[in-house]
A and B are shown apart, each in its own frame.
Chain A
Amino acid sequence: MKIAVCVKQVPDTWAEKKLRDDDSTLDREAADGVMNELDEYAVEEALRLAEANGGEVVVVTMGPERAAETVRKALSMGADAGVHLVDDSLHGSDALATSYALAEVLAARNFDLVIFGSESTDARMSVVPAMVAERLGLPQVTFAQKVDVDGSKVAIQRQTEYGYDDVEAELPAVVSVVEKINEPRYPSFKGIMAAKKKPVETLTVADAGLDAAKLGATAAWTKVASFAARPPKAAGTVVTDEGDGGAKIATYLTEQKFV
């Protein structure tokens, strides 16, 4: 089985994120880059499925030069090979453009299963997996809290507002996983050493045969008109409980007309 896992490099979860003044895109230089933490679960699930069913795991990313670190991290966790789409003209791509680029790269490589994280912690859209499924015309089995592959079928539990749905599809299919599905492994020392020798294919927009007119800031179908730091919230009142803490909150809630 050939499994692709799509990972994104994002600013460190704990770093303060901001937009660039020049083009209102995320300032990726301002913070350390890390693998989107929700994509670690996708890598882990891909590795487990390959271990259980036999097969190969290829990590796919689109992002600036330094996103190579994130590919390396997935390889050191155990993925077999990497594909890194990197090109200055990709800067400023929106979800539609990202899904187009990823879909083309994936389509050219005939995977049985493509696994995504459920959300990127910077964009927070949770749309790229559904968009890639739409573009590839493949079954969308997203928000999985459990994934089983049996021969040519994949079965998942799809997390929903009310609980979960059982969903089945024929391979090839597009999966996204939620964080409670597994516990991602840490790269071992051996894994880190082995990763250095694993193949990474670096592609430009031209190499991948993509239409440059559909990519980058100029092709984005949405535009940030303006942005501003949220006006600082007036500091709240914090009191120490002296046996009357609950009553004090009740008074506050009454003043604010909640009670």
Chain B
Amino acid sequence: MAEILVVVEQTDGTIKKVTLELLTLAQSLGSPSAVWLGSGYTDAAGSSLAEYGADKIYVSDSSELNDFVVAPKAETLAAIMADAAPAAVLIASTAEGKEIAGRLAIKANSGVITDAVAVSADLIATQSVFGGSTIVQTTVTTGTPIITVRPNSTTPVAKAGAGSRVDVAATISAASRGAKVTGRTVAQKGGRPELAEAAIVVSGGRGVNGADGFGVIEALADSLGAAVGASRAATDAGWYPHQYQVGQTGKTVSPQLYIANGISGAIQHRAGMQTSKTVIVVNKDPEAPIFELADYGVVGDLFAVVPQLTDEIEKRKA
């Protein structure tokens, strides 16, 4: 069975959930091979990858891969791809994942598809485009399909793989050393799940009316074990940090449940949350366009509705 390369998303050695999703997808396409690019590889990480189906684990455990922007990862991945001759390469559809995919496509003379929400056994990718109004089936006609897949597109399913480790030296040419990372700033991260990966996202917009107002949003999020998101109106006003912006120029999320509070539903916001499975809306304006997406909506003041909802959830959990 042909190999399916899955690029591992990890921070400091911790594997992200999207990687397990991609391995699960790869199980249905061929023999999953995980590709680890960067420092921090551990046997425990290897075991998790094998648990979700990785037959092979290519490990390029070099801190240099993180010292320069994108190019070294694309170059090392291209070398692995040339040796492995896989049937497809799967990468998480994050900003950096897409950049790696784009550069890899040129190096490997292969077509690239971004933002897939599903990939069929015959390697046809499904994309949801134009703000979710159109569903497109796309195939790669030249080279090896390179497909970036959105987080939360599949549910991880464990299936033991052989997990044999193959060490690979990083390939970093002079041209790949052009953009040097000189500093890294990690914004404060609370105990909540990561926005792009969360199964539930609770968001606040201009209606939250200030940084303090986000207290009610966070309380609801915590009652559901959810991540917190924000509209650009809220991040621009400085009420919530920019990393939590959902939308065209923020994060794309595709959770099981999205709760939009005090958000009108501008096209740029919808672009980042339209593929959410279930949408709940709280807004005092019955004409707000976000109601068009609602599975369940309440026209009302979020400062009354949201705390009551949080209390009810806490009661039901007790």
Residues of A within 8 A of B (CB): 13-14, 16-19, 24, 38, 94-96, 99, 118-119, 121, 124-128, 130-131, 133-135, 137-143, 155, 158-170, 173, 178-180, 220-230, 233, 236-241, 243-250, 252-254, 256, 258-259
The chain B residue sitting closest to A255, CB to CB, is B296
B11 and A162 contact, CB distance less than 8 A? yes
Q: Given contacts A167-B181, A169-B180, A249-B305, are A237 and B138 in contact (CB under 8 A)?
A: no
The chain A residue sitting closest to B308, CB to CB, is A246
Q: Given contacts A162-B189, A169-B179, are A134 and B129 in contact (CB under 8 A)?
A: no
The chain B residue sitting closest to A166, CB to CB, is B183
Contact of B134 among A38, A131, A228, A241 (CB under 8 A): A228
Any chain A CB within 8 A of the CB of B96?
Answer: yes
Any chain A CB within 8 A of the CB of B121?
Answer: no
Other A-B pairs beyond A180-B242, A236-B297, 19, CB < 8 Å = A16-B133, A24-B136, A96-B112, A130-B98, A140-B70, A140-B179, A161-B194, A180-B236, A225-B139, A227-B134, A227-B136, A230-B128, A233-B293, A237-B296, A239-B298, A239-B299, A246-B310, A252-B296, A259-B317
Q: With A and B bound together, what is the CA distance between A248 and B184 in angstroms?
A: 45
Any chain A CB within 8 A of the CB of B200?
Answer: yes
Q: With A and B bound together, what is the CA distance between A168 and B242 in angstroms?
A: 23
A246 and B99 contact, CB distance less than 8 A? no
Residue-by-residue, is B108-140 near A (CB-CB < 8 Å gives 1, otherwise 0)? 001111110000000010001111111111111
B300 and A222 contact, CB distance less than 8 A? no
Q: Given contacts A167-B69, A225-B139, are A238 and B299 in contact (CB under 8 A)?
A: yes
Q: With A and B bound together, what is the CA distance between A168 and B67 in angstroms?
A: 11
Chain B interface extent, by class: 35 or more
Any chain A CB within 8 A of the CB of B191?
Answer: no
Any chain A CB within 8 A of the CB of B291?
Answer: yes
20 A-B pairs within 8 Å (CB atoms) are namely A24-B136, A96-B106, A119-B248, A125-B114, A127-B99, A130-B70, A130-B102, A131-B105, A133-B103, A160-B96, A161-B96, A162-B186, A162-B243, A164-B185, A167-B179, A221-B112, A223-B140, A246-B311, A246-B312, A259-B224
Residue-by-residue, is B289-318 near A (CB-CB < 8 Å gives 1, otherwise 0)? 001011111111100111111111100110
Cβ contacts under 8 Å, B297 to chain A: 236-239
Q: With A and B bound together, what is the CA distance between A224 and B200 in angstroms?
A: 32
B138 and A224 contact, CB distance less than 8 A? yes
Q: Given contacts A131-B102, A237-B296, are A259 and B316 in contact (CB under 8 A)?
A: yes
Q: Helix, strand, loop or mixed for chain A's interface?
A: mixed
Q: With A and B bound together, what is the CA distance between A236 and B268 in angstroms?
A: 22
Cβ contacts under 8 Å, A139 to chain B: 69, 178-179
B105 and A121 contact, CB distance less than 8 A? no
B309 and A249 contact, CB distance less than 8 A? yes
Residue-by-residue, is B168-208 near A (CB-CB < 8 Å gives 1, otherwise 0)? 00000001001111111111010000101000100000000
Any chain A CB within 8 A of the CB of B263?
Answer: no
Within the complex, what minimum Cβ distance (angstroms) separates A228 from chain B? 5
Residue-by-residue, is B7-31 near A (CB-CB < 8 Å gives 1, otherwise 0)? 0000100000000000000000000
Cβ contacts under 8 Å, B268 to chain A: 13
Q: With A and B bound together, what is the CA distance between A169 and B138 in angstroms?
A: 36
Cβ contacts under 8 Å, B98 to chain A: 125-127, 130
